[in-house]
Amino acid sequence: MEETILNCQDSAEGILTAVYRAYEWKLPRDRVSIRTGAVDLCLFASCRDVETRPDLAKKVSDTIKRRFGRQVWEDLSFAMAACDERKGTAVLRTIDLGLSGRIRGRLTQGLGEEWIRIVFELGRRVRNEYHRQQEFLRFRQAQEGYLFALTEPKEDVTAFLMPHFSDRLPMENFVIVDSLRGIAGVHPAGRPWVLLRLNEEEKGRMAGAAGHTSQEEAEAAELFRCFCRTVSIRERENPGLQRQHLPLRFRGTMTEFDPPG
């Protein structure tokens, strides 16, 4: 029997809608793959586009939470944020395995199954990136007084970062911009945060914000640079170890590694 490729939007809602459709259309799950983004055409596969429907995605997410628990839902959410072509199919097959009742204990811990292992790998990758962004993200204060952070994460983690920072800085106006994907998390002081897709003009404006920081910002940055410089012990210096913990790709947006002047 030929394979069916479901082509959906690259978001959690898009993938969950595709999962819903796979069951609704009674497609054999072992012959279905879900793709996000550009689809490679195959000779023996039929391709169907799936339009994102938040209500259907919610039904699937409710089922996952009810049947497998919140922890599994969290694991799958992290996996769906990965920048990897296999994520849609892996989520579908994992849900299918869970519904079949073959996995004992928590679904996402049945690492003997290949698709669950892929969900685990993707989830771990996203969790690691999320953790590193929590560490290395740097806010700068714009002249208007709000804080902004420009990030370039490997995985799509802005939606995970927002709850962390809005709990931490509830009375601050701040924006976290994912420059690679054109997504921004906006938190107005004392109010709930929102996630936006930026248009070209807004992207340009946010990229330019780095050049318009306040005087206070320059002083704080200088103090922190002085602190980082001084706290290192000369006799123990080890740039290799520093690079291992703090890879070079993060340093472009970090205040302490700003070029002098």
Partner 1 sequence: MEFRIGQEMPLIKKLEILTDAAKYDVSCTSSGSRRSGDGTGIGNTVKAGICHSFSADGRCISLLKILLTNECIYDCKYCVNRCSNDVARASFTPEEVCRLTIEFYRRNYIEGLFLSSGIWQDPTFTMGMIYRTVLKLRKVYRFRGYIHVKAIPGADPEVVRLTGFLVDRMSVNLELPTAEGLSRLAPNKHRKTILTPMRQIQNGIVSSREEVALYRHAPSFVPAGQSTQMIIGATPEHDYQILSVAESLYRKFDLKRVFYSAFVRVNEDRELPALPGGPPLLREHRLYQADWLLRFYGFSADELLSEERPDFNLLLDPKADWAIRHLEQFPVEVNRASYERLLRVPGIGVKSARRIIQSRRSCALDFCHLKKMGIVLKRAQYFITCSGKMLYPVRMQEDYLARQLIDSRERLPFEADRVTYRQLSLFDDRRFVMDRQNFVRQAWT
Q: Which residues bind partner 1 (CB under 8 A)?
A: 102-106, 109-113, 117, 120-121, 131, 134-141, 147, 149, 165, 167-172, 190, 216, 220, 222-224, 226-228, 230-242, 244-246, 254-256
Nearer residue to partner 1 within complex by CB, 111 or 195: 111
Minimum distance, C-beta of residue 259 to partner 1, in the bound complex (Å): 16
Nearer residue to partner 1 within complex by CB, 112 or 211: 112
Q: Are 149 and 137 in contact (CB under 8 A)?
A: yes
Three-state secondary structure call for residue 226 = helix
Minimum distance, C-beta of residue 53 to partner 1, in the bound complex (Å): 33
Minimum distance, C-beta of residue 65 to partner 1, in the bound complex (Å): 20
Minimum distance, C-beta of residue 57 to partner 1, in the bound complex (Å): 28
C-beta atoms surrounding 12 within 10 Å:
21
Minimum distance, C-beta of residue 67 to partner 1, in the bound complex (Å): 17
Nearer residue to partner 1 within complex by CB, 96 or 121: 121
Nearer residue to partner 1 within complex by CB, 20 or 73: 73
Distance CA 205, CA 201 (A): 6
In this structure, the chain runs to a length of 261
Distance CA 261, CA 245 (A): 26
Nearer residue to partner 1 within complex by CB, 2 or 237: 237
H helices of the chain, in order, are: 12-24, 54-68, 70-80, 87-100, 114-136, 158-168, 200-209, 215-231, 239-245, 248-251
